[in-house]
Amino acid sequence: MSTLITTRPPDRGWRLFVRTIVARAYPRVIGQQREKAWIFFETFLPFLATVGYIYVYRAIQAPEDYIGFVVMGGAMTAFWLNVIWAMASQLYWEKESGNLALYIMAPNSLMAILLGMALGGMLATCLRALVITVLGTLLFGISFAVSSYFQLFAVFVLTMAALYGLGMLLASLFLLWGREAWQIATALQEPVYFISGFYFPVKSFGFAVALAASVLPLTLGMDAMRQLVFASGPSLGFLSVEVEIAILSVLAVVFIAAAKFWLDFMERKAIEEGTLTDRRR
């Protein structure tokens, strides 16, 4: 009796890229199904924190659209946290747990691995954003006045592209750090909520500061979305939506290209020096 052994040719190019994303997302998605407590901690509790800011506006008798600003900001925190904790700091964690050497030895792209991690955490991210948006809208009677669905979709997609590009760029930088990586990730939360105007119009900063803050994709992304979604949005906007879309497009290209360059650089460095997997650094 003869045994037929079929061997599948190794994947290359975009096939390998996609399979890597799926392979890295898989354990994260499956792991989340094993214990559902995260749904409470990552959706309901952050919603309550967002509601806290809503009641601050109620206490100072703010116009109703500001309540909507808070809900949008609260929903967008989910994406920033996903970028910081599920993407940027992940290669550092993988170094700590000993997996990074395997990732670098494997013939796949580090960008695909990072995307897989982020996509694996996207279930929690989207659920959190959805819960905050839906519950916030229903409980506080937020009214939307969408002026252009097409522009809204474009702004969201470009913001996410630039944001995850930034996340990949940060991931390569996080590799350079040791214990301070954790502190840096923590320090990138509230300060970014503040600088990007998660809970108030970024126009309040004045032109120069708001322009400097625009290097973070969420600053312009949220400003444009507020202008497109709320009736009073255009009067509180920083730049016109068209200009913000153009800048977001540039940011997306720049961050993704920079991430590719830096990740390649780090990978080369790991091979040449054999130091990036050293946990003592």
Partner 1 sequence: MFKTFSRSFFPAAWLGWQIESNWTDPFLFLAFSIAKPIASVLILVFMYNAVSQAGPDSPIYSYIYLGNAFYIYVTEVMAGASFSILDDRERYRSLKYIYIAPVSIPIYLFGRAVARFTTGTIAVVITLVAGVLFFGVPFNPLGVDWPMFFAALALGIVCLAFMGIIIGSWTLIIRTEPWFVGEATAAALYLFSGAVFPLSILPVWLQPVGFLLPMTYWLELIRRALLGPGAAAFPTLSAFSNAELFGILMLIAVGFGIVAFVAYRYFDRRAREEGMIDAQSNF
Site for partner 1 in 85-104 (CB under 8 A): 85, 93, 96-97
Rounded Cα gap, residues 142 and 51, in angstroms: 13
CA distance to 75, 92, 245, 253, per residue, from 86 (Å): 17, 11, 26, 21
Between 185 and 256, CB nearer to partner 1: 185
- Residue ranges with strand state E in 5-139: none
Alpha carbon 75 to chain centroid distance? 12
Residue 105 binds partner 1 (CB under 8 A): no
Q: Single out the residue of 143, 153, 176, 180 in contact with partner 1 (rule: CB under 8 A).
A: 180
The answer to whether the beta carbons of residues 164 and 87 sit under 8 Å apart is yes
Rounded Cα gap, residues 161 and 223, in angstroms: 16
Residue 217 binds partner 1 (CB under 8 A): no
- Binding region for partner 1 (CB under 8 A) out of 45-53, 153-161, 242-250, 269-277: 45-53
Q: Single out the residue of 141, 191, 206, 274 in contact with partner 1 (rule: CB under 8 A).
A: 191
The kind and range of the H/E element at 24 are helix 13-34
Q: 110-120 and 13-34 helices cross at what angle (nearest 10)?
A: 30
Q: Single out the residue of 15, 22, 63, 242 in contact with partner 1 (rule: CB under 8 A).
A: 63
- Binding region for partner 1 (CB under 8 A) out of 28-36, 108-116, 158-166, 168-176: 28-36
Say how many CA atoms lie within 13 Å of 270 toward its Cβ.
23
Q: How far is the CB of 148 from partner 1 (least distance, A)?
A: 25
- Site size toward partner 1 (CB under 8 A) is 54
Task: Evaluate the CA torsion angle 66, 250, 161, 81 in order and state its sign.
Answer: negative
Q: Single out the residue of 204, 235, 240, 275 in contact with partner 1 (rule: CB under 8 A).
A: 204
Q: Single out the residue of 38, 232, 258, 264 in contact with partner 1 (rule: CB under 8 A).
A: 38
Tell me which residues touch partner 1 (CB under 8 A): 27-28, 31-32, 34-35, 37-38, 41-42, 44-46, 48-49, 51-53, 55-63, 66, 85, 93, 96-97, 124, 178-180, 182-184, 186-187, 189-191, 193-195, 197-201, 204-205
